[in-house]
Copies of this chain bind each other. A is one copy, B any other.
Amino acid sequence: MGERGLKYDDQAISVDCVVFGFDGHALRVLLVRRERTLPERGVVADMKLPGSLIADTEDLESAASRVMGELTGITDIYLRQMEVFSDPARVQGDELQWINDFYGVNLRRVLTVVFHAVVKLDARLIEYTAAKGAQWVELDSVRGLALDHNRIVVSAIGFLISRLRHEPLAFALLPRKFTIRQLQDLYQAVLGIEIDNRNFRKKILSQPYIIPLGEKQTGVWHKPAQYYRFDARIFEREHKSKFKLDFLR
């Protein structure tokens, strides 16, 4: 501590948001387009995660929520800190130059705090984000992202899987009204497993916070399923004071 000659103040902090949506078949992640001019190759474009440097007057949560609001119009989003990427060499050369040009600063280093979010994908939202120049890209086709954003996305997938297993996060990815089958498809797609529909149904329906709406699917060519909703209040009440060591078995 108190070292002489070390610099502490030519570094800045950014936030990046990894926002996942589920389209019924696969996970998608929200990406924005980046353009920059390289000395030899002229203007080139690639994709990156939505993000922003933070000003010295705002906290990280406000910054992340601002970025999300600008891109998705969603303001009451389920947003959470995930991980800080702090390798001094994570942004260098051309990439660092782009940041310095873009923000009109002269930094030697940028740390980024990654935020994790999950939204209900629907036609309106996809249209809205498209108008803002952002795209929902299927996870399998994500490659060649700017900066170290590939690595960040990989880390975020692990984080998502972990949260799906420990929290009722699936309900934040599905529409408010959903069928048991949709819920099952989500788990199967994201966790890469197969689940017996009859046992899954029994398990889910035995939860007091899964409320049947008495309303049925329409326009499907097979037997229409009933819609259900998730009641967060009942879940919270139910979830208190349960001694359970999840890591055992």
- List chain A positions with a Cβ less than 8 A from chain B: 1-4, 6-13, 52-61, 81, 83-84, 86-88, 102-109, 111, 113, 164-168, 187, 191, 193, 195, 203-204, 207, 239, 242-249
Contact = CB atoms under 8 A, between A and B. Distances in A.
Contacts of A1: 52, 102-103
Contacts of A60: 84, 86, 111
Contacts of A83: 81
B103 A2 contact: yes
A65 to B, nearest CB: 13
A8 B165 contact: no
A191 B243 CA distance: 8
A86 B61 contact: yes
Contact of A104 (B4, B53, B106, B245): B4
Consensus secondary structure, chain A interface: loop
Q: Which 7 A-B pairs have the closest CB atoms?
A: A6-B55, A60-B86, A246-B246, A59-B86, A8-B12, A11-B56, A7-B56
Contacts of A2: 102-104
Nearest to A3: B55
Contact of A13 (B108, B111, B165, B195): B111
Contacts of A166: 166, 246-247
7 contacts: A1-B103, A2-B103, A2-B104, A8-B105, A11-B13, A61-B86, A195-B243
A103 B56 CA distance: 19
Given A13-B13, A166-B246, A247-B239, A54 B8 contact: yes
A9 B105 contact: yes
Contact of A8 (B55, B203, B246): B55
A2 B70 CA distance: 14
Given A60-B86, A165-B244, A244-B249, 15 more contacts: A1-B102, A7-B56, A8-B12, A8-B53, A9-B10, A11-B12, A11-B56, A13-B111, A57-B88, A58-B88, A60-B84, A84-B84, A164-B245, A168-B247, A191-B243
